[in-house]
Amino acid sequence: MPRFWLATRWAIALLISISFELLLNGPAGAQAAPRARAYTRSAHLMGSHFTFTAVSADDSLAWRALRAGLRETQRIDRLFSYWDSTSQVTKINRLAGIRPVVVDQEVVDLIARTLKISALSGGAFDITFASGDKIYKFDRQAHASLPDSATVRHSVRRIGWQKVQLDPIKHTVFLPGKGMRINLAGILQGYGVRRAQELMKKMGIAGGLINGSGDVYCWGQQPDGSGWRIAIGDPARPQSVSSWLTVSDLAVVTAGNYEQYFTVDGRYYGHIINPHTGYPATGLRSVTIICPDVELADALDDAVFVLGPVEGLAFINRLKGVSCTLIDDSGQTLVSKGMQLNSYHSAAPAAAAHPTSKP
């Protein structure tokens, strides 16, 4: 029986193939009750491709819910965009070092949650990464060398999540240093998916799937009653699959580094920057987080990328209700404690959850 296939994808080219069972009416003349089917709508949002899927026996309800989910994501994009000159995030950045900015409670709340994740991850996740100097060009080309160490150290001088000043009473955000900036790109797609899903479910959509370019949340069941099958791509073989799992009421979020990168002496350097050192995070090609909260998963994949395979796995193993699977620079698949994957032939054998040394 055909199933729903979806490969998680954020910055890496991962396989997405979705098939729906064809649902037929009863015999001619019979007054059969409407049967559930899957309705899908796609849009370009937050600079990425989003797909909204609703499972329903009521086509009018399904289309209303899809439109509502899309509009909610658009609203969030306008509110938090780093690039939109009218967004509240842009205003915070524009007035850095000048004065606090009054913002919506929603903005205060999301920034507060990012700071908690920063503290939890030891600063591996940091929305002030945008304060760093642009010293790299991720053009997929071979470069002669990395920037010199003094330039790299200087590039991160304004970064620091601890510097962000929130006043929950006055609803203000203040960046105390001139040139400081925040960018919520590392969590915003997950937040948009979460809010859209909550809205669609409240409207009566008991099953569905939203994919924000690799930030995936699925709930309920497919039209045939089965769970949602999520495929994880193979970084070494674009458009192929390394493993898969079947889930429901869970987020599966993947980050990777082979769409935006450069190489030096044959080594890949991806676009995710370690906010402590200023150098691109190394050691991993792909990170997939599985947990009930798609917003949290969206932030954790970047944190694990920065921490690397050893510290990243140890970090996830300390978190309740969170699992991960990683693909390191050597192509080996690593999994957290209790994580069960179905591997394809293209996947490297799964390793122990506690590797003893970095690759």
Binding residues for Mg(2+) are 186, 298
User: Could you give the CA distance from residue 38 to residue 206 in angstroms, rounded to a whole number?
Assistant: 11
Q: What residue type is assigned to position 21 of the chain?
A: E
Contacts of 28 (CB under 8 A, 6+ apart): none
- Of 97, 276, 277, the residue nearest 179 (C-alpha): 97
The position carrying tokens 């999994």 is: 335
- Euclidean distance between the first and final Cα of the chain, in Å? 41
CB 200 within 8 A of CB 68: yes
Alpha-carbon torsion 71, 76, 78, 84, what sign? negative
- Of 154, 188, 159, 151, the residue nearest 47 (C-alpha): 188
The backbone torsions φ and ψ at residue 215, rounded to the nearest 5 degrees and listed phi first, read -95, 100
Burial class (CB in 10 A: 0-12, 13-18, 19+), 305: buried
> Tokens standing for 215?
């930030």
The backbone torsions φ and ψ at residue 11, rounded to the nearest 5 degrees and listed phi first, read -105, 5
User: Could you give the CA distance from residue 352 to residue 151 in angstroms, rounded to a whole number?
Assistant: 38
Helical spans, DSSP H, in the chain: 59-80, 88-94, 105-120, 149-155, 185-202, 294-317
Query: Would you tell me how many other CB atoms lie within 10 Å of the CB of residue 357?
Result: 6
Per residue, what are the HEC states of 102-114?
Answer: ECCHHHHHHHHHH
The SS3 call for residue 188 is: helix
